[in-house]
Structure 1
Amino acid sequence: MTTATTNGTTATPPTKTPKKTNLLDHNSIKHLLDETVNEIVTSRGYKEDVRMSNVRLFIGAIIIVIALFAQFFNKKFPDNKNFLIGCIVLYPFIYVLFNAILQLIIYTKEKNAFLFTYPPAGSAYNSTGLMVSSKLPRFSDMYTLTIASADPKSISAKPTVEFTKSVTKWFTKDGVLVEGLFWKDVEALISDYKDSKKSK
């Protein structure tokens, strides 16, 4: 069985332990499909861009450090009374501020995206990476996968492509993912994106 290549040829999943999920768990299904899409996209030569994730982790780390600093400040009560008052007053403001920044990043940049990539190796200098997002509404079996440019304002950005299909197409009744079928559909979508005309 062949594996994916970076020259645009169709790939098939390598032989390995079958992926299984609980078909009654909406989040578990979406997580498994998203994880597999990530694997497929990166196997096609698109290296994951983790800068956005690093920004979110950094902001979260700042919030935790502030809380730990307040908790373990090297003075005992009542010597640290003024410091604690300052923390009590400032921490909610700082928490709200950084949380607002996180929500702004998610709303304006990430949305439903679970994967950002760099342009594929060897591509034109002005090509863009991908932003891959998905939706699986609660109480629905319809999974929507969307591939868009990671930089939609770029002159090299291509039109967004997507498909919406029932997850029942890709799973056995026991919850095992039929990877061959799923890989075929995802790779067809990647090819549609690559072959689409540039946005004007």
Structure 2
Amino acid sequence: MTNNNTSSTETEPVKVSNVYDVTQLKHTLDDELAKYIEKECGYSQSHQHTYLKLVLGYASVLIAGGSFLYERKYGFHYDKFGALGCVISFWVLQAVSLLYTRFVEKNEIFVGYLYHGDEHTGTLSVTSIMDRYSPNYELKYLYTDEKGRKHIRLDITASVASWFTEDGTFLESKFHQHIQSSIQTLPSRLHKD
């Protein structure tokens, strides 16, 4: 009997179903960028935005669950105002989540910390923007040197056509080269100033 579970280091290439869907393209690039920076560039990713939105979501679920259980035990007649309070609380939490995403997170797809030994030496923040009917993917890098407290910004815009084939296959190596060259220029530009 042979074992059909073969482990390979090669992964199947990522493929988007519609190369004209900007949302699919942006999410594919955002996910790959975060994975690459964390694995290959040595940054430790911060998940602060995700954790806060999870807490808000779980609080909404707990409110809805509590309302359901109270109504189930005592009936809707006794829970009318409690249900109304829960609905209002749910929408307030959703509004807080939306406002946080729009005004605090602001298209930020990666926040990472660079360590040399136990010493925190730098912080990298990456924001991505891709307009609805545009093939251009804009990346805004902000690198902060923790020792000198200096900041450097780098804005790069490139067409997604160079990273996807016509059938939607994602060309990881080209995208990785683009990211690597951008990240390598940050510290050198920081020390020029």
Q: Is the 8 A contact 2:64 2:90 kept in 1?
A: no
Instruction: Name stretches of at least 5 consecutive residues in structure 1 with no aligned partner.
Output: 1-13
The 3 A distance-change label for structure 1 pair 122 and 152 is closer
Cα distance in 2 for partners of 1:58, 1:132 equals 23
In structure 1, the partner of 2:28 is: 32
Give the alignment's Cα RMSD to 1 decimal.
2.7
Q: Which digits, 9 at most, give the CA deviation of each residue in 1:119-146, with x for residues without a partner?
A: 2231684534222221111111011112
Q: Cα distance, 1:184 vs. partner?
A: 0.9
Q: Name the stretch that deviates more: 135-144 or 151-160.
A: 151-160
Identity of aligned residues (%): 21
Cα distance in 2 for partners of 1:103, 1:52 equals 12
Q: Which digits, 9 at most, give the CA deviation of each residue in 1:125-183, with x for residues without a partner?
A: 4534222221111111011112224x799962522212111111112222212222111
Cα distance in 1 for partners of 2:31, 2:56 equals 25
Give the 5 Å matches for 1:135-174: 135-149=129-143, 156-174=149-167
Cα distance in 2 for partners of 1:195, 1:123 equals 21
Cα distance in 2 for partners of 1:186, 1:63 equals 37
Instruction: Name stretches of at least 5 consecutive residues in structure 2 with no aligned partner.
Output: 1-8
Q: Is the 8 A contact 1:46 1:121 kept in 2?
A: yes
Q: Which digits, 9 at most, give the CA deviation of each residue in 1:8-37, with x for residues without a partner?
A: xxxxxx853222212122211111111111
Q: Cα distance, 1:86 vs. partner?
A: 2.5
Q: Name the stretch that deviates more: 65-74 or 96-105.
A: 96-105
- TM-score relative to the length of structure 1: 0.78
Higher percent of residues as helix? 2
Higher percent of residues as strand? 2
